[in-house]
Amino acid sequence: MKWNTVKPIEWAVVGVVAILIGAIYVLSPEIDGEQHADILQDIAVLEEDNSIITAIVVETRFGMLPNFDSLVTAVNTAAQEGKELKSKLPFEEEQSLVEAWQAYQETFDGKLEVIEDFKSHSAVLKNSVSYIPIAIREFLEVAAENDSDPKLINAAQTLLIESLIFSQDYGFEHVDSVQESVHILMANQDKVSADLLDKIQGVLLHAQAIIDFKSEVDGLVNTIFKTQTDLKIQQVLAAYLVAHNRKHEQVDRYRAFLVILASLLALMIISLLFRLTRTTNRLKKSLDEVNFQKFALDQHAIVSIADVKGNIVYANKKFCEISGYKLDELLGRDHRIVKSNEHDPAFFKEMWKTIAQGKVWTGTIKNKAKDGSIYWVNSTIVPFLDENNKPFRYVSIRTDITNRVEMEAALEQARDEAEQGNRSKSEFLANMSHEIRTPMNAVIGLSHLLLHTKLDETQHDYVSKVLSSGNLLLDIINDILDFSKIEAGKLDFENIEFNLDDVFEEVFTLININALKKGLKLSLDRKSDVRHHLIGDPLRLKQILINIASNAVKFTHKGEITFVLDEVKRDSDKIKLQFSITDTGVGLSEEQAEKLFSSFSQADTSTTRQYGGTGLGLSICKKLVELMKGEIKVESTIGEGSTFTFSAEFGLGEEKTQSAKEITFQVQGAKVIVVDDEQTSLDIFEDMLQGFGFEVTTSLSAAQAIGEISKAKEAGEPFEYAVVDWKMPKQDGISLCEEIKDDFHKGGKSRIILVTAFDADIARRLIKRDLYNELLLKPVMPSSLLNAIQSCQEEEIVKQAEHLECVDEGNGVSGAKVLVVEDNIINQKVAIGLLKSFGVSCDVANNGLEGVQAVKDNLYDAVLMDIQMPLMDGVEATTEIRKDSADLPIIAMTAHAMKEEQDKCKKAGMNDYVTKPVNPSNLLEALQRWVRQD
């Protein structure tokens, strides 16, 4: 630590210590002497109250008090004193105090219960003592009238005296005399008259009550005497004193800690004051240095000082030189004296707002000198603040940048001219590309037509090469056109709703031919929960994917090309997706990868290069990705392959199609086994199928699959569907299908789906048709896989439909006649079976042309119209029918539930639609809405 400086951290430490002292003082416990005295007094009073209760009980027992009022008052007083004492005791500080008080309270409550019994028993005893003299007097009067036996009279007189003495005696000395008199009276009850007997019984009743209750009352008095409330109160006092002493010790510790902190704070303050004195002296020396620095600053910078009103109070020599004013012309004048009127009022308003808040303002200002010449300065205005943090001076430090500004203006003009030249070049390229495309279209089109005429071998070879070269040239022209559009800023983006699956299918269709020729495998890893209804430009997305994928096929001689789609981020109305394309091709060096996305750049630039191209494709992809608010990059290793990754942002379209769970209501939960020798393919199929709700088992070989199938059969839970790859080592897919075909044949139809990365036409020629239901080409799209599985059970659906029993004839459509226009035989059978179950008769037309003719030749209550059919589709057929039959209900049967498809149907004149696979209840409801049987 330097003893000639005071650091802010030291003041912070002093502040922290001071705050800590205050906090400890506030948090330290206090000893309330007055409350302590009150508690001790209350404990003594409570002890005295309990003693008073005992004394009053004794007085009451022996008749010294006329009633129980004094006892009730003493009990209430003790209870109230107990409540007040309880409210003052610090139970939270000592658990033993809580236990001691609970013990006292239980003892006191028990004493109160005994006192209540004492009161009730004493009342009965007093009552009998009061009434026995009256009962004996009445007995003596009746006995005298009847000349009763003197022995009885003597016994009654003795009973009166002895019972009264006995009732007030604490012991049982006279109980025998009382009992003897009672015995005499009881023994002569049958010898006296009825009226005298009644009097004897009254005497005996009270005498017996005195004997019984006198014993009870004395026992209760003994119990009250033995109740140890005094001892419990002493235990409460002892526990309280323990808590009080412990708190005293805690207070002493807090005070000792406060003394230590206060001493430390005092030492720190003394140290700081000592060093502040030294710092003050040092600052005085620094002031001289500041003045010297000011002098140095004046030699370079343009410096002025103004008051809060903007009037100049100081200007250095540089300010006078650049402005052309003398010092006496500047002092006291407003700073606006050098205003050039170049800047609008909002510029200066913002500047004054900033410095008025005590903040530093920095900016570029155009000023005007006295002679009218213009000069530019970089200005920094620093407010000097008073003790209230209010500005009282503004120091402006400027640097002359006039030459730099003039140079920048010249450079900007040159840049604009260069940009104009680039735009002219790009526009020229765009125009030239369009001009070249017109004759090229003729060359390509006529060459294609010429190939379909009779040509000899040499002519066919020449024309084929012309067509190939023409297509290659057209691709180059398209790249140049796109590049020129981007450069000229004329590239337009669509913002329409599209299905991501459709884009991938088109991409795979285009690149699959070349991939198959080279024996390359294509795969798509797409999570089932990634949204596929998006809003954006599907054409540009497809252009990027095709460009990268075509390069992957071009530079890969063996192995596979894998497409991976993942979701990066999703908001309420937009989503960011990441696309990755990985190949096992020749790869790139680090140097080649760095310049790969540059215009007119290729990895191989030699004149004998193996691969063609303009070097514009990836440059265009990069610009397209950036326009789609994404990024593109490449990771590559020579000899191992490359991974191109790009992201793009799209809007979220409505999920208008039925969800997988709704579509697959007839197959969901079914067991599927997938057989493929590549783990990547297995993972992709497993993810797709699980997304549709299937229970999936995977196998890496035919042998493993056969074992899994046998195990499932033995467990009584056989697989319902099999997805089998064609080309596998050791035992291929065809051999496996031959072996397991009986396990997957149901309803006269195979439930095996064969997949292949090779030519599908060759596969169909080589493989027996009864071995599989559907043949899919890799990479398999989720929708294609789902449709293939559903097609496996169409026969079963048809069979069920054909055996449906007719429903209630009161369903509103029974007896109607409907025309079914459908080209698919299975769908025809399904429709016929369902309509039959509704009690509806029907005719079938195989396409739109037949449907139009059938409507002209027959009367129908409704038409069920398929959309996609040969010769004439459903939309065109509906348009023709509506020319003559405006009121005939036409219900579309479509495999798509998208809104645009629905709008298309309604625009053509259809009344309603049902989606495939047809749900019987939905079809019945649609018919009920439109069929009128008048």
Q: What is the pLDDT of residues 6-20, one digit of tens each?
A: 667 877 877 787 887
Under CATH, what is the fold of the domain 817-930? Rossmann fold (3.40.50)
817-930 matches 662-794 in CATH topology: yes
Residue 821's pLDDT is what?
94
Residue 697 has pLDDT above 90, yes or no: yes
Mean pLDDT is lowest, of 426-430, 468-472, 830-834, for 426-430
Residue 523 has pLDDT above 70, yes or no: yes
Residues constituting the chain: 934
Preceding peptide of 779 cis, ω within 30°: yes
Which of 543, 525, 526 is CA-nearest to residue 625?
A: 543
DSSP assignment of 83-102 equals HHHHHHS-GGG-HHHHHHHH
Residue 220 has pLDDT above 60, yes or no: yes
Estimate to the nearest angstrom the gap between the alpha carbon of 361 and the chain centroid.
44
Please compute the mean of the pLDDT values over residues 177-197 and round it to a whole number: 77
Looking up tokens 């191992």, which residue turns up? 640
CATH, domain 662-794, list 3.30.450.20, 3.40.50.2300, 3.20.170.30, 3.40.640.10 = 3.40.50.2300
Q: Is 671 helix (H, G, I), strand (E, B) or coil?
A: strand
pLDDT band at 900 (very low <50, low <70, confident <90, very high): low
| Enclosing H/E stretch for 597 | none
Which of 306, 290, 288 is CA-nearest to residue 398?
A: 306
Cα distances (angstroms) measured from residue 541 to each of 493, 494, 502, 507, 622:
10, 11, 12, 10, 12
pLDDT digits (tens, 9 = 90+) for 89-110: 887 777 888 888 888 888 888 8
Specify whether the CB–CB gap between 368 and 374 falls below 8 A: yes
Half-sphere exposure of 909 (CA within 13 A, CB side): 17
Q: How far apart are CA 74 and CA 642, in angstroms?
A: 100
Specify whether the CB–CB gap between 396 and 379 falls below 8 A: yes
Specify whether the CB–CB gap between 894 and 867 falls below 8 A: yes
What is the 3-class SS of 736-785, one letter each residue? HHHHHHHHHEECCEECEEEEECCCHHHHHHHCCHHHCCEEEECCCCHHHH
Q: How far apart are CA 58 and CA 622, in angstroms?
A: 109
Residue 393's pLDDT is what?
87
Q: Which residue has the higher pLDDT, 309 or 766?
A: 309
Radius of gyration of the chain (CA): 55
Please compute the mean of the pLDDT values over residues 684-696 and round it to a whole number: 83
Specify whether the CB–CB gap between 135 and 182 falls below 8 A: no
Q: How far apart are CA 232 and CA 234, in angstroms?
A: 5
Residue 895 has pLDDT above 70, yes or no: no
Estimate to the nearest angstrom the gap between the alpha carbon of 780 and the chain centroid.
33
CATH number for region 492-652: 3.30.565.10
Looking up tokens 């400890």, which residue turns up? 24
Which of 841, 834, 843, 796 is CA-nearest to residue 925?
A: 834
Residue 608's pLDDT is what?
34
pLDDT digits (tens, 9 = 90+) for 625-684: 988 899 999 999 898 899 999 999 999 877 544 433 333 345 567 889 999 988 888 888
Residue 800's pLDDT is what?
53
Specify whether the CB–CB gap between 332 and 344 falls below 8 A: no
Please compute the mean of the pLDDT values over residues 149-177 and round it to a whole number: 74
Q: How far apart are CA 837 and CA 855, in angstroms?
A: 23
Residue 747 has pLDDT above 70, yes or no: no
For residue 238, the tally of other CB atoms under 10 A from its CB is 12
DSSP assignment of 26-72 equals HHS----HHHHHHHHHHHHHHHHHHHHHHHHHHHHHTTSSSSSHHHH
pLDDT digits (tens, 9 = 90+) for 254-312: 778 888 888 888 888 887 777 777 777 777 776 667 566 666 666 668 888 888 888 88
Q: How far apart are CA 700 and CA 684, in angstroms?
A: 13
Residue 337's pLDDT is what?
85
Residue 897's pLDDT is what?
47
Under CATH, what is the fold of the domain 300-406? Beta-Lactamase (3.30.450)
pLDDT digits (tens, 9 = 90+) for 49-68: 888 888 887 777 776 777 77
pLDDT digits (tens, 9 = 90+) for 168-183: 766 666 677 777 777 8
Query: In the structure encoding, which two tokens stand for residue 927, read together?
Result: 């018919």
Q: How far apart are CA 705 and CA 604, in angstroms?
A: 46
Residue 613 has pLDDT above 60, yes or no: no
Q: What percent of the chain has pLDDT over 70?
A: 81
Give the domain ranges of the chain.
Answer: 119-226, 300-406, 492-652, 662-794, 817-930
Residue 581's pLDDT is what?
93
Specify whether the CB–CB gap between 518 and 549 falls below 8 A: no
Residue 374's pLDDT is what?
86
pLDDT band at 621 (very low <50, low <70, confident <90, very high): confident
Specify whether the CB–CB gap between 393 and 305 falls below 8 A: yes
Query: In the structure encoding, which two tokens stand for residue 439, read together?
Result: 């004759």
pLDDT band at 857 (very low <50, low <70, confident <90, very high): very high
Please compute the mean of the pLDDT values over residues 415-434 and round it to a whole number: 66
Q: How far apart are CA 349 and CA 354, in angstroms?
A: 9
Please compute the mean of the pLDDT values over residues 139-152 and round it to a whole number: 79
Residue 699 has pLDDT above 60, yes or no: yes
Please compute the mean of the pLDDT values over residues 493-510 and round it to a whole number: 80
